A = this chain, B = another copy of it.
Amino acid sequence: MRGQSKELKGDAPCHIGVDLLGSDTPPAELLEAILSFSQEKLDSSVHLTLLGTPSVFAGISSRPGVIFHTVENAITMEDAPLTAIRSKRNSSLCTGIALLKNGHLDAFISAGNTGALIACAKIELPEIPNVERPALLTLLPTKKNEIAVLDVGANTSYKASHLVQFAAMGVAYQKSRGVKVPKVGLLNIGAEAKKGTPELQEAYDLLLALSQAKDSPFFFAGNIEGRDVFHGEIDVLVTDGFTGNVFLKTAEGLAAVVIEELSQHGIAAEMRKRLDYAEYPGAVLCGIDGIVMKCHGTANPKSLTQSIIVASRLVHHHFLSEVKNELLYFDGKRS
């Protein structure tokens, strides 16, 4: 992921919106990090629209390629999502989604209230055909490559068809990263086809059949146990939102403890960098017709700037078209 901003050179202009409000990091700190990042590392084809209250931008001078878009207020972590998106129409979060909807933005990134962001995106943006349920996709560092894990979005029930659609969206995502034939695994409690819930068993059979077609855009690696994920032998890890959420937070929690200990021993900045989820780009909300990314509320500014790189790459690689295309295949309709 890192260091790939070069590939953006020569691309058509794209417009990325970034919500400066509603996270655990002070807006001024995010603003400073993003401005310095945009000046030093961002290709000129990427135009930024930063959303904040007037006070956030007070005393800040204008920059080429950066629009300061003032809004009224922020949706906080404590706000009830559905109430907030109705009562705070001029918040940074709702404004960002509105700008995406009317085409002023190509992608929108927020580290604010997750429930509000997903609800607002689902309500305001068009659905993608053949997706029953949007999913949050996040990149996970492993020994080898980075795996796309979805859904990590905490739905508490699921059907086999949801899992198959998650696979399609994960494949599209990895293709946008340059993986030609992504390897897809199902997160399960054993490798055998008959392991896990009836829904998992059905998804296994469906994915196996899809992957065996001559023109299959992916390879099905079967069931993957939690302990094998980190070997990095697959590109896409498919799971329901509850299990995926537990999986991701477990990995994050253990990594954080390890990093803390390593720091006490004054050890291994390189390893720390690889394990530090706080510096990883945010999750992509897949399955709605718009590129929306969600960073951790506790994420540091680096996570937001990494997300800008990911978002611009998704725009340049026509991620949404790729998703629609894959879904047609997974739905059996692609020629």
The chain A residues found within 8 Å of chain B, CB to CB, are 142-143, 154, 156-157, 187, 189-190, 196-197, 225-231, 241-243, 245-258, 260-262, 265, 267-268, 271, 275
Q: Tell me if B268 and A252 are in contact (CB < 8 A).
A: no
A231 to B252: give the CA distance in the assembly, Å: 12
Q: For A252, give its contact among B226, B253, B275 (CB under 8 Å).
A: B226
Q: For A268, give its contact among B189, B247, B265 (CB under 8 Å).
A: B265
Q: Tell me if A227 and B242 are in contact (CB < 8 A).
A: no
A127 to B136: give the CA distance in the assembly, Å: 43
> In this complex, what residue of B is CB-closest to A156?
B197
A250 to B262: give the CA distance in the assembly, Å: 20
Given known contacts A226-B247, A246-B243, A268 and B271 CB-to-CB distance under 8 angstroms:
no
Q: Tell me if B267 and A254 are in contact (CB < 8 A).
A: no
Copies of this protein in the assembly total 2
Q: Tell me if B253 and A228 are in contact (CB < 8 A).
A: yes
A187 to B231: give the CA distance in the assembly, Å: 25
Q: Tell me if A249 and B227 are in contact (CB < 8 A).
A: yes
A228 to B227: give the CA distance in the assembly, Å: 19
A40 to B263: give the CA distance in the assembly, Å: 36
> In this complex, what residue of B is CB-closest to A275?
B258
Q: Please give the distance in Å from A271's CB to the nearest CB on chain B.
A: 6
Q: Tell me if A143 and B257 are in contact (CB < 8 A).
A: yes
Q: Tell me if A197 and B230 are in contact (CB < 8 A).
A: no
Report B-chain residues with C-beta under 8 Å of the C-beta of A268. Answer: 261-262, 265, 267
A251 to B227: give the CA distance in the assembly, Å: 7
A250 to B251: give the CA distance in the assembly, Å: 7
Instruction: Provide a sorted-by-A list of 8 A–B residue pairs whose CB atoms are within 8 angstroms.
Output: A143-B257, A156-B197, A196-B242, A226-B250, A231-B257, A246-B247, A261-B268, A261-B271
> In this complex, what residue of B is CB-closest to A188?
B246
Q: Tell me if A250 and B265 are in contact (CB < 8 A).
A: no
Report B-chain residues with C-beta under 8 Å of the C-beta of A257. Answer: 142-143, 230-231
A254 to B228: give the CA distance in the assembly, Å: 9
> In this complex, what residue of B is CB-closest to A277?
B227
Q: Tell me if A227 and B252 are in contact (CB < 8 A).
A: yes
Given known contacts A196-B242, A245-B189, A257-B142, A250 and B227 CB-to-CB distance under 8 angstroms:
yes
A260 to B231: give the CA distance in the assembly, Å: 11
Known interface pairs A196-B242, A226-B250; 17 further A-B residue pairs with C-beta atoms within 8 A, sorted by A's residue number: A156-B196, A156-B197, A189-B246, A189-B249, A226-B248, A226-B251, A227-B253, A229-B250, A229-B253, A230-B254, A230-B256, A243-B243, A246-B246, A250-B254, A254-B254, A258-B271, A265-B268
